[in-house]
Structure 1
Amino acid sequence: MMNKKWLVLGVILFCLIMGNTTERANAEEGSLETYTRQFSPVALSGYETANYQYFELEDYWNVEEAALYLEYNFSSLLNVEKSSITLSINGTPFHSFRPSEEHSKGISISIPSHLLVSGINTVMIEGKRTSSTDEGLYNVCDVTENDNNWMTINDSSSVTVSYASAPMKQSINQFFERFIGLDTVKSVDHAVVVNKNSSSAELESAIYGVAGLAKAKSDGSLPVPLLPEGDEKIAEKQVVIYVGMYNELPERIKTALGQVDVQQRALLKLIELEQQHILVVTSQNEEMLVKAGKYVANQELMEQTATNEKWIDADTDVLTPAVNVSRIITLTETGDRLMGPAHQEKSYFVSLPANQSIAEASKIRIDMRYAQNLNFNRSLVTVLINNKPIGSKRLSEVMANQDVLELSIPKNLDVNGNFTVTVAFDLEIEEMYCVSHDHVPWAYIDSSSMLQLNTVDRHDLLFNYYPSNFMHGGGFNSIAIVVPEQLTATDYTVLSNVFHLLGRYAQTNHGDVKVYSDNVDVSMLKNKQLIVLGSFSNNALIRQVNDKLYFRYAANGESFISNEKKSIEYEYGKKIGTLQLLPSPYSDGFGMLVISGAEPRYYELASKLVVSEDKLWQLYGDSIITDLDGQVSAYRFKEQHAQAAPILNLTERKDVLTFVLSAMVTMSVAIVALLLLTRKYWRKRRKSNETISKQLYI
């Protein structure tokens, strides 16, 4: 009996040991991957200064190690023996050093992994400096060179993380997390795939998915690839969303799905084929397939779907909450404290639909408190919108415990869509180097600070405001896409490029997107914002509107020709791509974006200019030309008209309403008084005439 017990214990112990060994072996088999986040360049100035850099870690990363790499330049006037740099991660200091010539060529510092968190991590680079001219400051309290830049952190600096990806569970939310993950996006290890010769419904469903996925991912520079079935790139992808009508699905996918009834419903189901994770989106009903695409575009629903399949029917609510643009926006919920001398600032992001602009009579109010040990002759607060100052105020000792700054937002500021409000304090103090840390100046922005916002729809057909005319209420503004009848892989790429940016601007999955081939009945294009892509030869609609284009094709359609703005050599005109924003020829008040070139590779080149926010700075006017050398030229053909001031809703403006009512009452009283005076005058004149007549009669 005793031997049997020992035998059982031995077997159990052996299993435990082998289990642990297997786990360790599996961990060792999974090779570590690396992710690097480059820093933006930083200039450090002032006696005490701090800068913040950010990087993100995915939930499914098991981080083994992380390192901060710094390259910097510093002033030759810097006293390196009395100057220092302190590095902190998520508020905890982990390394300090003195600047040196040796380190400036590059220094790598390990970041303690226990200080890292999933999601956003904050690196603070804090500097304290003394220059060679400040040697006497330790004995004599004097402030010099406070605003000079004394160190620059180069953009070659970065954070590098080594990690192993956790195994992916067979659930839609885990698949979605991987699809939009930083590593997946960086390596372009994902794709949305549609059936070859895809129908309008399949393209519409895929476009909603591409736009929603673009919004969900952190990296806004790279679009989600949209590929047709059969494209050789598909085999390289690890995570794939396959969108297609059920009857057109490849047999290998039908087999993996099993017997499913999708006549009146749509199905999202996760399958695995040849080590690829594939989310199949399918139906035999076109309306349900498009609805399923909107489900994919709803980030909250995708993150909440913990099963490997999801059925979509007529009762399934797939829409995101509607955007409600509030007139009163609170800048900070809890209040914000700013510490330290010299320049300190806090920025607030304000979300606004892309087609909305700040209108006249918008205001901002900053409720604040600040320290009383300031040099009030030199201390002030400034408010900036998108880094453009709109007003300042000198700080006052009398108002230190309860100060207010109210400013009107200039109507010519030209703010369109999302914007940033920055509150900047210059907290100057006397004899700064003699003040202990306990007496460091401070400022506090109260939670009652707010923005009173009036907005107006903006539909200017100019790239300065793109993509405002394609957005409405945070969603798509009745978009009709006209594509060549025979789509190439390039056409799918162009669609992906265009809707990646539109998706980044979209705040909801509302609105309509319809896809038509180039032989569409133009009556279907009425009351639509049009996106037309293709060449003169492969898109009949471009041939129809050629005489309305700013840059037109030659009669044979082989090349763009010269116009009043630009001379175009014939061979050069064959090798350029154009973006043109012009009024729709089918409906007043609607626009048409034409993305065109003599060959697909050239209009793909043009579409790359509207793929991400960081490309838009190159675009203005209503026509863009780009070539293979990367030259981008912008032109304006539409006449510039003075814009009338927007008409605000008077019922929402009590001050304006009161003024208007008072003016109306005053005008009414004046008119009545004028009528009474006129009546009195005519009566007196009539009486006088009667008296004269009697005298003459006598």
Structure 2
Amino acid sequence: MSLVGVGQVHAEDLTYTQNFQNDTTTLSGKSTATSMYFTKMDYWNVKKATFNFNYQVSQLADKTTSDITLSMNGVKFYSFRPEHKSGFQSKAVEIPLELLQGTNKLEIKGQILNKKDAKNYDLAQTPANWLTIKSGTNMNFKYEVKDPENTLRSFYDHFSGEDTIANQHSKIVTPDQPIKAELAAGMTALTGISHATTTNNNQISVVQNTNMDATKGDYILYVAKYDNLPKALKQEISEKDVEKRAVIKTHYTKKGDYLIVTAKTDGLLKKASQFFANPELMQQTNKSTEMISYLTNTFMSKVQDRGKYQLTNVIDKIKGAGHHETNYLVTLPNDRTNADGSEVKLHFRYSKNLNFKRSLVTVYVNDTTLGSKKLTAAKANGDEVTLEVPKGTSLGNSFEVRVAFDLEMKDQEISDNSETPWAEVDTNSEMKVKSEKSNDLLFTNYPTIFMKNQTYNNLAVVIPKN
């Protein structure tokens, strides 16, 4: 058995493009801002990160006074002026690597001004002050993959990674002519990583041994009864270890990295596959081998569908006059979809130096406007608004809540170059979602049709006799 040292990386440089989940969106106002979120895998050694920005500004915007500024995780790092041309423009901006975290917030601020004469700016907000961000705006990474550590947790992180799945390097393998218990165990394991699969990604393949075609860079979950394991994998686990228990064990080779899930009985093989299907357990297991007995608690703590989803776990603060947007992704359990009766409850604060006749907050779900509320000096230290999602609005099980602040200052006569005024979205802001079970038997819903509240439902596999 060959073990891979901690911190080693594959020499080959890889690329991965992560698209933002935004439709083409227009931000209106002389000063606008919006946020986008993306993830950097922990096992990446990033060499280069590029923000590919597709945008368009108003044809009436003055290109010598209008500008766009980018911030990463609260740190400004790049500003530029739109080019003198109509239509959509593209801008590739390299991100300073030291600003990258696991989960990242990229903020786009645009100051779109119309020039009145040689001395003054026309700062009146009109329909001609706008910035449009086109769908397809994305992050591109050039990186090396850090070899997995010799733990279940590290293998699981690689196996369920977005790039691993998109590049079809994740595989679930059973023996040739698998028995029902092996098929059921393989499908149970598949449900555990369904959170990493979307309709935009390739699905994880479940294949038989003959069709495995393992190569370096593959992460292979091999599910089999002990007597049906290939010789090379069987010799990694002693028969004594599986007499009364199931075994989950890492095995790294030059032709792919394996996680072996095996047992002598159908019941213990099922228990081991349930352990793998539990992300909480897999991400907590910092050892190379796990022994599973009938007493091992393998079930996920079921998500109680109380329908409350916190929008942000930290106070989300925006600064500057004009139109600003901040976005929050809400994801329901895999087998649920929204129903009538959902609402957003927003708690927020804002500065007192506003023109309260022209300042307001507006809440959207995807592109549906829920409503607006005027800001007032009396409630600047603690305001709230509850807005209902219109009846008949279909959102699916993943959607975006967008909060837009229009912050107008008193007697502003110059371009916006300050960080006041400000507004904050508080951590007790939430969306209450009424949901119902989604039972559509579509291939695009696979494997979530096997799920119930983010855990696997009762699962049986039926195969013909011949």
Please classify the TM superposition score into its range, dividing by the shorter chain length: 0.7 to 0.9
- Counterpart of 2:12 (choices 19, 31, 36) is 31
- Counterpart of 1:114 (choices 98, 109, 116) is 98
Q: How far apart are residue 191 of structure 1 and its match?
A: 0.4
Larger Rg: 1
Tell me, yes or no, if the aligned pair for 2:112 and 2:129 is still in contact at 8 Å. Answer: no
Q: Please list the CA deviations of residues 652-684 of structure 1 after superposition, one character each: whole Å capped at 9, or x if unmatched.
A: xxxxxxxxxxxxxxxxxxxxxxxxxxxxxxxxx
Determine the structure 2 residue equivalent to 1:135. 116
Determine the structure 2 residue equivalent to 1:145. 126
Tell me, yes or no, if the aligned pair for 1:321 and 1:508 is still in contact at 8 Å. Answer: no
Q: How far apart are residue 378 of structure 1 and its match?
A: 4.0
Determine the structure 1 residue equivalent to 2:270. 290
CA distance in 2, matches of 1:73, 1:365: 33
Tell me, yes or no, if the aligned pair for 2:33 and 2:108 is still in contact at 8 Å. Answer: yes
CA distance in 2, matches of 1:38, 1:182: 12
Q: Map 1:2-17 onto structure 2 (within 5 A).
A: none
Determine the structure 2 residue equivalent to 1:586. none
Tell me, yes or no, if the aligned pair for 1:370 and 1:442 is still in contact at 8 Å. Answer: yes
Listed as ranges, the gaps of 5+ residues in structure 2 are none
Q: How far apart are residue 285 of structure 1 and its match?
A: 0.8
Tell me, yes or no, if the aligned pair for 1:72 and 1:106 is still in contact at 8 Å. Answer: yes
Q: Please list the CA deviations of residues 540-594 of structure 1 after superposition, one character each: whole Å capped at 9, or x if unmatched.
A: xxxxxxxxxxxxxxxxxxxxxxxxxxxxxxxxxxxxxxxxxxxxxxxxxxxxxxx
Change (3 A) 1:81 1:121: same
CA distance in 2, matches of 1:72, 1:356: 32
CA distance in 2, matches of 1:331, 1:283: 43
SS of residue matched to 1:81: coil
Determine the structure 1 residue equivalent to 2:460. 514
Between the two proteins, the alignment pairs up a number of residues equal to 456
Tell me: higher relative CO, structure 1 or 2? Use CA pairs within 8 A at least 6 residues apart.
Answer: 2
Determine the structure 2 residue equivalent to 1:93. 76
TM-score w.r.t. length of structure 2: 0.82
Tell me, yes or no, if the aligned pair for 1:263 and 1:285 is still in contact at 8 Å. Answer: no
Tell me, yes or no, if the aligned pair for 1:185 and 1:219 is still in contact at 8 Å. Answer: no
Tell me, yes or no, if the aligned pair for 1:238 and 1:276 is still in contact at 8 Å. Answer: yes
Which moved further from structure 2: 319-328 or 36-45?
A: 36-45
Determine the structure 2 residue equivalent to 1:281. 261
TM-score w.r.t. length of structure 1: 0.57
CA distance in 2, matches of 1:378, 1:232: 63
Tell me, yes or no, if the aligned pair for 1:46 and 1:145 is still in contact at 8 Å. Answer: yes
CA distance in 2, matches of 1:386, 1:98: 29
Change (3 A) 1:389 1:205: same
Q: Name the Cα RMSD after superposition.
A: 3.8
- Amino acid in structure 1 at the alignment position of 2:218: Q
Identical-pair percentage? 29
CA distance in 2, matches of 1:415, 1:219: 15
Change (3 A) 1:165 1:417: closer
1:166 and 2:146 equivalent? yes
CA distance in 2, matches of 1:424, 1:70: 21
CA distance in 1, matches of 2:257, 2:234: 15
Listed as ranges, the gaps of 5+ residues in structure 1 are 1-22, 460-464, 471-493, 520-537, 539-698
Q: How far apart are residue 135 of structure 1 and its match?
A: 2.7
SS of residue matched to 1:49: strand
- Counterpart of 1:47 (choices 4, 13, 30) is 30
SS of residue matched to 2:142: strand
CA distance in 2, matches of 1:250, 1:381: 62
Which moved further from structure 2: 101-110 or 338-347?
A: 101-110
- Amino acid in structure 2 at the alignment position of 1:112: P
Tell me, yes or no, if the aligned pair for 1:214 and 1:220 is still in contact at 8 Å. Answer: no
CA distance in 1, matches of 2:247, 2:106: 43
- Amino acid in structure 2 at the alignment position of 1:188: Q
CA distance in 1, matches of 2:374, 2:445: 47
Determine the structure 2 residue equivalent to 1:300. 280
CA distance in 2, matches of 1:426, 1:42: 16
- Amino acid in structure 2 at the alignment position of 1:149: W
Q: Larger % of strand: which? A: 2
SS of residue matched to 1:252: helix
Determine the structure 1 residue equivalent to 2:375. 395
Change (3 A) 1:358 1:174: same
Determine the structure 1 residue equivalent to 2:447. 500
Change (3 A) 1:417 1:251: same
Change (3 A) 1:293 1:327: closer
